[in-house]
Structure 1
Amino acid sequence: MSGSDVTRDGVRGARPDREATTGAVDGQGRRGRDRREREQPMVPRAEFQSYYGKPVLNPPVWESPDVPGYLFLGGLAGASSVLAAGAQLTGRPELARTGKVAAVGGGLLSLVALVHDLGQPKRFLHMLRVFKVTSPMSVGSWLLAGYVPLAGVAAASELTGRLPRVGSAATAGAAALGPAVASYTAALISDTAVPAWHDGHREMPYVFVGSAATAAGGVGLLGAPLREQGPARVLALLGVAAELGVFERMRRRIGMVAEPYRSGRGGRYVRAGEALSVAGAAGAVLGRRSRLASAVSGAALVAASAATRWGIFHGGMESARDPRYTVVPQRERARAREAAAGA
């Protein structure tokens, strides 16, 4: 090869290795014209995958049915105590009895589900050694420890007819703690790094309270006679409206992070809950004169609340397993901060 074989376009008659285009010059001597079309990427486009087989985010070790059952039963218990207290004040003894039994049953089963998920009862007792306001689990443990005995005393007094004053005081105490018991589990899951839970922290407590009201109203329709079902029917309708409306608002606000609530296992539960909620609400309105129709709508409302909690649980677990829901929002927030800083 002589000096005359070397030109501005490279060695005459020779092809660059692997047809490299970096630093190429076109025939007119203009360097890098339309580089996007001429250059070929040397590495494939990055995909959202794990790092050496490790996930970006470690999903919670919580399992089904313990944790979603715990979420559902606690909400049912708390809202039922409020319904029972209202029924007692307005002279509806059968509805009050139904609410008190549902409250103690839901509270006990919720506590059993929590302890079973923890693995050993002493772990729950260990959480009562301290009280930490900034820890939803600590606050929730103390709430359950105070609520379940009150609900138990209220139900025992109602069923046996003994110590009515003590039972009334316990009913009032359980009703005072009821809203916190129904909603603290929303703060518990929102305080995690799970994208579908954490990003929805603004609306999640309202979704849980609406779902709890739906379940408690459904239990009232199941257990109370027609003449006493008015408060249960109103509570159920308000719960359905809050649950569906706020849940949809949350999904729109958090954007792509809400995808697990529309697809997969979580999406199937959520859609089932929505269908059951609409059917139960329609039955509660149209079946006001039929005991059978009221019972069927009540069962549908209870099932709707349970399906919503299962859908939220599985949707959150799926968002923790897929790194897209962690990486993409982080990048979008970083770009937004850079744009704001530049402006």
Structure 2
Amino acid sequence: MSPRRERAMVEPAEFRSYYGKPILKEPAWKQPDVPLYLFLGGAAGASATMAALADVTGRPRLARIGRLVASGGSVASVGALIHDLGRPERFLHMLRVLKPTSPLSVGSWILSPFSGLAAVAAASEVTGKLPVIGRLAGVGAGVLGPAMCTYTAVLLADTATPSWHEAHGTLPVLFAGSALTSGAGAALLAGETGPVVRAGLAGAAAELVAEHHLETGLGLASEPYRTGRAGKLLKAAKALTAAGAGLSLVAGRSRVAGALAGAAYLASGLCTRFGVYAAGVASTKDPKYVVVPQRERVSQRAGR
């Protein structure tokens, strides 16, 4: 005879908080300001580094494109951040001190000099004046570029928002890969190929691997990345990244394919930032994303 199955005597517990209010507050940042800030800053950082490398390897047209994109993206990123803060002086207040333990403080001190250096490099490129200073500024912006690509991921992961905090090791990889494809996308739209295609493929590989881990490797915290608005946006991001990578392989033979690849990469970057933001918001609304991981950690410690 087969063993008799035990039947649960009570229904599975539903997690509720007092008066039906969430345990955590929903992120107070505005949309679309903050997701755009995340996207524009990453694209600017990757473009600045790409421009610096292009300058060193004798690709003046790619260097020019990268500097212009880096300057425009960083200025727009600062504008989105200031609009979210409400008043320009609030951004200046963040620069009064440098607190190494605060991702927001460190990020402000990365964004400010990067924006200034990128603007100087772009101005020199457009006017042809002070080329030595412009080139040095471009090198400085290129050095800060990788930090621009990833510091916003650290900023999100340093919050109590469950699906962001649990992804502290994955979000920087995702944002770095997405920033690289966005920077490559802007250059592809301008007609560049060669190293731009290779950079885009490297970024696409990192992005797709990181997105898969977000959706499957974080336990319960992965659920918001697979469902609802965030799930739809991240599925679209993966499809656009794959399409951009495929089209970029023939960009050298078809200007139209290169432009489509660039547009797909940029659209993917937008979907990724809005999707990650939506997943974090969703994870604050259901108490289970807070309670279940806490109980699992307690059980693990008790078992040890």
- TM-score norm. by structure 2 comes to 0.95
Instruction: Indicate conservation of the 8 Å contact 2:52/2:142, yes or no.
Output: yes
Question: What SS class does the counterpart of residue 37 from structure 2 fall into?
Answer: helix
The correspondence of residues 235-250 of structure 1 with structure 2, limited to 5 A, is 235-250=199-214
Residue in 2 that maps onto 1:214: 181
In structure 2, C-alpha distance between the alignment counterparts of 1:45 and 1:82, rounded to whole Å? 52
| 2:145 alignment partner AA | G
Residue in 2 that maps onto 1:336: 300
Deviations 1:313-335 (A, max 9, x none): 00111011111111111111111
Deviations 1:196-238 (A, max 9, x none): 100010111111101100100111111134xxx2121111110
**Structure 2: where are the runs of 5+ without partners?**
1-5
Q: RCO greater where, 1 or 2, for CA within 8 Å and sep 6 or more?
A: 2
In structure 1, C-alpha distance between the alignment counterparts of 2:148 and 2:169, rounded to whole Å? 18
Residue in 2 that maps onto 1:147: 114
Residue in 2 that maps onto 1:31: none
Instruction: Indicate conservation of the 8 Å contact 1:87/1:231, yes or no.
Output: no
In structure 1, C-alpha distance between the alignment counterparts of 2:254 and 2:56, rounded to whole Å? 25
| 1:75 alignment partner AA | G
In structure 1, C-alpha distance between the alignment counterparts of 2:129 and 2:77, rounded to whole Å? 26
Deviation, structure 1 residue 164: 0.7
In structure 2, C-alpha distance between the alignment counterparts of 1:289 and 1:40, rounded to whole Å? 67
In structure 1, C-alpha distance between the alignment counterparts of 2:36 and 2:66, rounded to whole Å? 19
The structure whose Rg is larger is 1
Deviation, structure 1 residue 293: 0.9
| 2:157 alignment partner AA | S
Q: 1:205 to 1:45 in 2, by over 3 A?
A: closer
In structure 2, C-alpha distance between the alignment counterparts of 1:45 and 1:83, rounded to whole Å? 53
1:230 corresponds to 2:194:
yes
Residue in 1 that maps onto 2:85: 118
| 2:252 alignment partner AA | R
Residue in 1 that maps onto 2:281: 317
User: Which residue of 87, 99, 118 maps to 1:132?
Assistant: 99
| 2:142 alignment partner AA | A
Residue in 2 that maps onto 1:197: 164
In structure 2, C-alpha distance between the alignment counterparts of 1:107 and 1:145, rounded to whole Å? 9
| 1:275 alignment partner AA | A
In structure 2, C-alpha distance between the alignment counterparts of 1:239 and 1:221, rounded to whole Å? 14
| 1:251 alignment partner AA | E
In structure 2, C-alpha distance between the alignment counterparts of 1:258 and 1:115, rounded to whole Å? 31
In structure 1, C-alpha distance between the alignment counterparts of 2:232 and 2:9, rounded to whole Å? 42
Q: 1:281 to 1:45 in 2, by over 3 A?
A: closer
| 1:338 alignment partner AA | A
User: Which residue of 79, 85, 95 maps to 2:52?
Assistant: 85
Q: 1:53 to 1:173 in 2, by over 3 A?
A: same
In structure 1, C-alpha distance between the alignment counterparts of 2:275 and 2:286, rounded to whole Å? 17
| 2:212 alignment partner AA | E
Instruction: Indicate conservation of the 8 Å contact 1:75/1:181, yes or no.
Output: yes
In structure 2, C-alpha distance between the alignment counterparts of 1:303 and 1:261, rounded to whole Å? 18
Residue in 2 that maps onto 1:9: none
Residue in 1 that maps onto 2:3: none
Q: Which runs of 4+ in 1 moved over 6 A?
A: none
In structure 1, C-alpha distance between the alignment counterparts of 2:9 and 2:269, rounded to whole Å? 53
Residue in 2 that maps onto 1:306: 270
- TM-score norm. by structure 1 comes to 0.84
In structure 1, C-alpha distance between the alignment counterparts of 2:236 and 2:76, rounded to whole Å? 23
Residue in 1 that maps onto 2:132: 165
Q: Percent identity?
A: 51
Deviation, structure 1 residue 45: 5.4
Instruction: Indicate conservation of the 8 Å contact 1:251/1:258, yes or no.
Output: yes
Deviations 1:288-328 (A, max 9, x none): 21111101111111111111111100011101111111111
Question: What SS class does the counterpart of residue 85 from structure 1 fall into?
Answer: helix
In structure 2, C-alpha distance between the alignment counterparts of 1:203 and 1:90, rounded to whole Å? 32
**Structure 1: where are the runs of 5+ without partners?**
1-35
Question: What SS class does the counterpart of residue 249 from structure 2 fall into?
Answer: helix
Deviation, structure 1 residue 96: 1.1
Deviation, structure 1 residue 40: 7.0
Residue in 2 that maps onto 1:96: 63
In structure 1, C-alpha distance between the alignment counterparts of 2:253 and 2:297, rounded to whole Å? 54
Instruction: Indicate conservation of the 8 Å contact 2:52/2:139, yes or no.
Output: yes
| 1:248 alignment partner AA | H
